[in-house]
A and B are shown apart, each in its own frame.
Chain A
Amino acid sequence: MGNSNELAVGAALTGRRESRLWPARLDFMQSASGLFLALFLWVHLFAEASILLGKDAMYRVTMFFEGYYIFGDPYPIIITLFSAFIFAILIFHAVLAVRKIPVTYRQYRVYQDHRKVMRHEDTSLWWVQVYTGFALFFLASVHLYGMMSQPANIGPYASSDRVVSEWMWPLYLLLLVTSVVHAAVGSYRVGVKWGWLPARDPVLGRQRLKWLMRGFIVFFLLLGLASLATYVRIGLEHRDHYGERYVPTWLQESPPQTAIPEEAP
């Protein structure tokens, strides 16, 4: 078609090898990277919800992700490297998704008017994806850069201090809502896009997938809000001891005791 001819001419003039196969690959990689990020988000929300089981539980989860149970010592650099990997996938996903976002006023206006007069759920859901996706460019970047640059500041007190004393809770609140909605709606859309449905009948499959989408949004929002509220509570209680690290109960000797840092030096 027209675009392909232009690409072929450009390729011939510049000596670039043009492959007609890229549109398929890009489309699939957008879905695959999005699904991966959604799965990561859900695991992440469970991990951070460990605070609901107590400070010791969250401490153990932190130690686990820092490799303590594998290497015998915690290595926060693992968090840095993993955050950088997630950041790379996020940028990759954003680059692919940007292909679809309205980029001119005409496109924006036409879609907006279309959405309003159609009153069609899936048409509106995509608009939700555009808005949440755009917000996530910034919200997720701030969070990921924080994790990459200060990987050792994760723990029952360190995280709570960051949420309250370092004023990260507004960002986390926005990040929670946008990422949970974007991940659930995106996963639903990947399902209908490729025909991966939880029923043989496509109508029933789509209905079920949509209910799953709604369920995931409600569940992970509640889980995330409960976790955030707990970090806020601990952060408020711990405000006067800002910077002090949590000592797990099994290391708390009879008082008086000196604080043992969460991370090994």
Chain B
Amino acid sequence: MSTQMQARPADAAVTRRLKIHVLRYNPQDPASKPHLEVFEVDEAPSMTLFVALNDIRDRQDPSLQFDFVCRAGICGSCAMLINGRPGLACRTLTSGLGERITLAPLPFFELIGDLSVNTGKWMRGMSERLEAWIHSSSEVDLRRLEERMEPELAEQIYELERCIECGCCLAACGTARMRPDFVGAVGLNRIARLRLDPRDQRTDADYYELIGDDDGVFGCMSLLGCQDVCPKNLDLQTQIAYMRRKMLRAAVFPGS
């Protein structure tokens, strides 16, 4: 630690001093009011916001609340509003931002405190509401090999399975912000993924029951905030448009 600390003044000429404005609020504390608190951090090479936040928590304010697990854009825990736009703290390099950085918790989700929100609670509710698991009436015999699947199909499913449920798509969605019952891109993507899977025996009519209304795919106003902020670069625009066409087809030709 001491080596790093001593090296800092020498780097001061080349490193920036970041002014990180963090929205502080603890809903558990009646005396707490939402306010921006400024922390100054010396920028280090290849520093991510995740590193900067840990630096603040270690050296300046141990009470600062934020979530992280993997540090590699896989767990989706560190999603937050970075200068107003949703993103993952662990995947955002400070070098790509100005000296003044504003961090706020993801809107839409239940606030735990400061930058920490309860995305898991909402995601679970969404999963239950959309019955987002394989529906199959056939018995699974664990002693036998799984049914084979074409590699191309497996690739397609895997592509949609890459969603980490970080919640960025919902925080970026004007529709979800206005209408909290909207299932969002994460929900529609999940249904698109299950629809591809031959093991799920549900038909489009069944899926229509789940997403065929204004809380589902027909509530989407195509603002494409989801598409433009998704940290995993999922093609949500195409998935939602595809599901919209399929659900329209299911409505126009109910028997097919």
Q: Which residues of A contact B (CB under 8 A)?
A: 1-4, 20-21, 23-28, 99-100, 102, 107, 110-111, 114-120, 122-123, 126, 189, 192-195, 202, 206
Give the 8 A-B CB pairs with smallest separation, nearest first: A195-B241, A24-B251, A117-B84, A193-B222, A21-B251, A27-B218, A23-B218, A107-B178
Q: A residues within 8 A CB of B158? A: none
Between A2, A24, A26, A115, the greatest number of chain B beta carbons within 10 A of the residue's beta carbon is seen for A24
Q: Is B129 an interface residue (CB 8 A)?
A: yes
Name the residue on B nearest A202 (C-beta). B238
Is A27 within 8 A of B178, CB to CB?
no
- Please pick, from B174, B225, B237, B254, the residue contacting A21 in the complex, using a CB distance under 8 A: B254
In the assembled complex, how far is the CB of residue B124 from the closest CB belonging to chain A, in whole angstroms? 16
Q: Is B99 an interface residue (CB 8 A)?
A: no
4 other A-B residue contacts (CB within 8 Å) besides A110-B178, A111-B174, A193-B220: A27-B244, A110-B177, A123-B174, A194-B241
Q: A residues within 8 A CB of B212? A: 20-21, 23-24
Is A206 within 8 A of B214, CB to CB?
no
Name the residue on A nearest B243 (C-beta). A195
Is B129 within 8 A of A27, CB to CB?
no
Report the separation of the CA atoms of residues A2 and B181 in the bound assembly, to the nearest whole angstrom.
9
In the assembled complex, how far is the CB of residue B199 from the closest CB belonging to chain A, in whole angstroms? 25
In the assembled complex, how far is the CB of residue B108 from the closest CB belonging to chain A, in whole angstroms? 10
Q: B residues within 8 A CB of A24? A: 208, 212, 218, 247-248, 250-252
Q: B residues within 8 A CB of A107? A: 178-179
Is B213 within 8 A of A28, CB to CB?
no
B91-132 CB contact bits vs A (8 Å, 1 = yes)?
A: 000000000000000010000000000000000000001000
Name the residue on B nearest A129 (C-beta). B221
A-B contact pairs, 19 of them (CB 8 A): A1-B181, A2-B215, A20-B212, A21-B251, A21-B252, A24-B218, A24-B248, A26-B218, A27-B244, A99-B214, A111-B174, A111-B178, A118-B84, A122-B228, A192-B222, A193-B220, A194-B245, A202-B237, A206-B237
Q: Is B72 an interface residue (CB 8 A)?
A: no
Report the separation of the CA atoms of residues A208 and B237 in the bound assembly, to the nearest whole angstrom.
15
Is A126 within 8 A of B223, CB to CB?
yes
Is A192 within 8 A of B244, CB to CB?
no
Is B251 within 8 A of A102, CB to CB?
no
Report the separation of the CA atoms of residues A192 and B241 in the bound assembly, to the nearest whole angstrom.
7
Is B244 within 8 A of A194, CB to CB?
yes
Q: B residues within 8 A CB of A110? A: 177-178
Q: A residues within 8 A CB of B235? A: 202
Is A119 within 8 A of B85, CB to CB?
yes
Q: A residues within 8 A CB of B238? A: 195, 202
Report the separation of the CA atoms of residues A24 and B222 in the bound assembly, to the nearest whole angstrom.
15
- Of residues 161 through 193 on chain B, the ones whose CB sits less than 8 Å from some CB of chain A are 172, 174, 177-179, 181
In the assembled complex, how far is the CB of residue B126 from the closest CB belonging to chain A, in whole angstroms? 11
